[in-house]
Every structure is written in structure tokens, then in C-alpha cells.
Structure 1
Amino acid sequence: MKSWLILGASGHGRSLASVIRGRGDRIAAVGDRALSAEAGRTAAAEAFRNTDGSVPVMLDDDAPALDLALAESLSVTIAVGANGVRSRIAAGLLADERFSRLAGALVAASATVDATAVLGPLAQVCEHAHVGPLAQVGEAVIVNTGAIVEHDCRVGAGAHLAPGSVLLGAATVGREVFLGSGARVLPGIGVGDHAVLGAGAVATRQLDGMATYVGVPARRLTPTKGPAH
């Protein structure tokens, strides 16, 4: 049984708490600035309570939370949905060799990860997600509930595959890409760094980075001036 520090007490943090409990592991501590308020600590105590009824240590600053992780050899996971923020936190942790042994991937008990797949440090594979043969998932990636990363796919660091999204065989997504719920990238298709593929969109051709795409097939979203008619 592992003991965990969760950095972040928001909705994704509660989802990761469920993953940890489902593994039979223990949540030892939660760190989030929102826990500075008494009401926030009280609500979080219930949301992060362990199956044995124990309550994690609630800390309102990352520094003491990480000091506790080092002192008690807690595994660390980053419960921040925003790709850029999560990536920055991950980069800081991974630059400190003291955290190298604490920054493994978190994999739900109901997820399937092929033995030949590679998960980067601080990656998360949530309930009923699947990572297929020879897939490579970068550091601090979220493969969210029910998402699928098929064989030979590549997922760049800091990306987030929302619930039900799918990467089909040998698809590639770059750094900090966001795939909305139910989005799909067809076999062999690439999506550039920092792109957003909207919910239900289907990438049928190569998509550039730094842009938002919607629809079937996915098309680049063009901002409009003034109210739409």
C-alpha cells in the first residue's frame, strides 16, 4: 500500500482521491492554497477521507506539503487540470532529484496499461482508461476516465485527454494538448503542441499547434467580431 500527497484539492483532486482509494492506497496529505479557509479545510476533509475513516493532513501551501512528502516518503500526484500550471509544477519537482523516487505514475486499479507501454513520471491513468502496446505517455499527462490511448500512440508532456477521448493507432499529440470529452484523433494523425480539440471533435488530418479545433471533421475555430447571428 502506498501513501500519497495530492497537490490540489479541486474537482480533479477529488477524482484522484477516488483513484487512490480504489487502489487500496492511502491519502496521507492534500496541499492547496484554498485550504487556508476553515470552510475549505472542513469540506476537503470529507472529500479526501480514507476508506478507514482517517483524514489526510490538510496543508495550504505546497512547500510544507512537499517537505512532508520527503519526510514520510509519500508518492506525489498533481491534481491540477490546467495543463500549463500542472506542467510547471511537474518541471519544478522533476528538477529536484530528491523527488525522483516519489514522482511515479498513478494508475487506477480498473485501468489497463500494456506491459510494453511507457508512462512518464507524474502521469495519471484514471478509472477504466486504457493505454495500449508500445504507447508512450509523457510526464504529467492526464489520461482521464475511460480515455483510450491505442497502440504506438505518443502523448506529449502535460497533455490532458478528457473522459472518453480516444487516440487511435499511432496517433500523436504534442505537449500540453487538450482533448475534450469524446474527441478522437484518427490513426497516424498528429496534433501540434498546445492545441485544443473540442468535445466530440474528430481529427482526420494533421492539426497545427496553438489553435482550437471543433466539429467532425475537426476545423480550426475562427474568432468572430461582435455577437454571432
Structure 2
Amino acid sequence: MLLYGASGHAKVILSILEANGQRVTAIFDDDPEKKLLERIPVIGTYDPKHEPTAPLIISIGYNAVRRQIARHIQHVFGTAIHPTALVDTNVTVGEGSVIMQGAIVQVGTSMGKHVIVNTGATVDHDCKLGDFVHVAPGVTLCGSVQVGENTLIGAGSVVAPNLTIGADCLIAAGSVVTVCVPNGATVRGNPARIIATS
């Protein structure tokens, strides 16, 4: 397995892969100062010829950056699910996606490409997460929630059942979302209110 991005998020993905007995052989990163991460060599900018048959995970938490990088990757994408995560057998996990320690993903949920379900997050039944969504630590998505592409649900937030969160949204940490959120909105509070739109 290869990673792209040598940061704290990469450390967590390394931990997941090690817990599954998978070895990371190298990490790409655009910062020339980075040489080593948790004993794994950081070998510089992306090289499609380096271990071309190895799967790769983009180990960067920022949705927009992950999306930008994904366009240029020629390797196949892997996935990573920590063994302490509870993921129903009837869950679809898209390529490049990761499910962190202690997360719960319930029956009927579909995750797009390059999705992050972070530490201790709960995604209940029949949720649909678009590509490049990040469900931050401690989030609760109740049943049948739909989240559009490139949206961040901030740490500790709660989204009530049957709601739609649009694409390119930011749900601020600790928010309680009780109504649908349009594309490009930033919301905050309890109950969450729109504070900005793009």
C-alpha cells in the first residue's frame, strides 16, 4: 500500500493498515522537508511509476485537496477499515475511502469515493455519502441522511433523520442540524443556522 500525504491523518491510516496486517511501503508528499513518517519513508512528489501495481490511499483530511490530488493519480485506490469499526455487510464503501477506529456504519449505507468516516463517528441506516465527504470524529448521522460531495460534517455534530445536506457544505463542529441544508452553505449552532453561502 502507498499513501499520499505525510500528516497526522496519515498516521491514523497507517495505524488502520497495520491493524489489518497491511504494510505501507512509501508515502508521497509535496513537502521536500518530510523524509520519514512513523518509520515509513516519505519519497517526495507523486510518481506514477513507483510500485505501479500497488494500491494508494490519499491520506489528507481536507476534502478539496483530496479531490484535487485524486484527479492526477494513476495508481488504483485502496480502502482502509479499522477492525474496531462496526461496518454492516450491506454497506458500500467506495474506492479510496477510510473508516476509522470505533466508527459505526449501519445497514444500507453507501459511501462514495474518498470518503472519511472518522474516529467514533456513527452513520446510521440508509445514509448516502457523496464523494470526498468527511464525517469528522464523534459525528452522528441519523437514518437516511444524504450528504453531498465535498461536504465536511464537523466534529461532534448531529444530523437528524431523513435530511439532505448539500454539496460543498461546512457543518461547523458541535452543530445540531434539524433542517435540510442547501449546496454551498456553512451552518453552525444548535439548532444549526446558515451563516454563509458560497
- TM-score bracket for this pair, using the shorter chain length: over 0.9
Asked if residue 80 in structure 1 is aligned to residue 54 in structure 2, the reply is no
Task: Answer yes or no: is 1:17 the counterpart of 2:14.
Answer: yes
Which residue of structure 1 lines up, in the alignment, with residue 153 of structure 2? 179
Distance 2:107 2:9 in 1: 27
2:70 is aligned to 90
Point out the more displaced range, 80-89 or 214-223: 214-223
1:48 positional shift: 2.2
C-alpha deviation, 1:90, in angstroms: 2.2
For 2:172 and 2:12, the matched residues in 1 are separated by: 22
Amino acid at match of 1:68: H
- Give the C-alpha shift of residue 145 in structure 1: 0.8
Q: In structure 2, what is the equivalent of residue 68 of structure 1?
A: 50
Normalised TM-score (structure 1): 0.81
CA–CA separation in structure 2 for the residues paired with 1:13 and 1:141? 14
Q: 2:108 & 2:145 partners in 1: Cα distance? A: 12
**8 Å CA contact retained: 1:90, 1:122:** no
Shift, 1:13, TM fit: 1.1
Query: CA contact under 8 A between 2:187 and 2:196: conserved in structure 1?
Result: no
Shift of 1:57: 3.4
Q: What is the Cα deviation at residue 222 of structure 1?
A: 4.9
Unaligned runs of 5+ in 1: 50-55, 224-229
RMSD: 1.5
SS at match of 2:125: coil
Q: TM-score, normalised by structure 2?
A: 0.93
Which is higher, the Rg of structure 1 or of structure 2? 1
Letter in 2 for 1:31: F
Contact 1:69 1:76 in 2 (8 A): no
Instruction: Give the % identical residues.
Output: 31
* Matched pairs, number: 197
Q: What SS is found at the alignment partner of 1:14?
A: helix
Looking at secondary structure, tell me which structure has more helix per residue.
1
Output one character per residue of 1:58-111: Cα deviation in whole Å (capped at 9) or x when no partner. Answer: 211112xx32231xx322110111111111222333xx5xx3xx3132111111
